[in-house]
Amino acid sequence: MNLIVGLGNPEEKYKNNRHNVGFMVINSLLGDFLGERINKSNFKGDLYKFKNNLFLKPLTFMNLSGESVRAVQDYFKPDKVVVIHDDLDLPFGTLRFKFGGGNGGHNGLKSIDTHIGKDYFRVRVGIGKPADKSKIISHVLSDFSKFELEKLGDIVDFAKKGTMELLDSDIQKVSQKYSMKNSSEPK
């Protein structure tokens, strides 16, 4: 069994935020599969099952994502956990895959690391970083720009395909095939 987690914030006002790109990829995956919804309040998230895969959107808000991931992991005992998340340290449109490592200051990853450790796969979707570090919170909680929205569908699609291949393939092969370079906005 595999657990695929998309990080984001649950309220409607956050729907198109950069911080919600993990939810966007999960929503796209769910559009491809007729997953069975699993209702258990202790999972603290929207959980769907399709064949041997679980798809989770934690509804705890980003900073507490690990609570939801831990509850699902404890119940189902998945062989592989994949977390899809936004990454400030990658320019917009960059897509990278890795196993383990640091959290880069990402509060959702910090929470997951606290609850299940660092041994999980990551699909890192670049959202860029503002030059002024005091604007990081407003950046991640703001909606994608018009230019970014035009590119986002392709990025989400590529992340979705890479995520599914990662479940049955070597991370090196997936990285070579699905990593993307940034999509810079014209000046």
In tens, the pLDDT along 96-130 reads 999 999 998 899 999 999 999 999 999 999 999 99
- Helix (H) or strand (E) run with residue 36 in it: strand 36-38
111 exposure class (CB count in 10 Å sphere: 0-12, 13-18, 19+): buried
Annotated active-site residue 139? The verdict is no
Which of 19, 85, 106, 115 is catalytic? The answer is 19
pTM exceeds 0.75 for this model: yes
Q: Where are the domains of the chain?
A: 2-178
Please name every residue paired with 5 in a beta bridge, in sequence order, or none if there are none: 56, 83
In tens, the pLDDT along 133-148 reads 899 999 999 999 999 9
Q: Is the pLDDT of residue 84 over 70?
A: yes
CATH architecture of the domain formed by 2-178: 3-Layer(aba) Sandwich (3.40)
In tens, the pLDDT along 12-48 reads 999 999 999 999 999 999 988 878 999 889 999 999 9
Q: What is the C-alpha to C-alpha distance for residues 27 and 13, in angstroms, rounded to an integer?
A: 16
148 exposure class (CB count in 10 Å sphere: 0-12, 13-18, 19+): middle
Backbone angles phi and psi of 186, in degrees to 5: -65, 145
Q: What is the C-alpha to C-alpha distance for residues 86 and 92, in angstroms, rounded to an integer?
A: 10
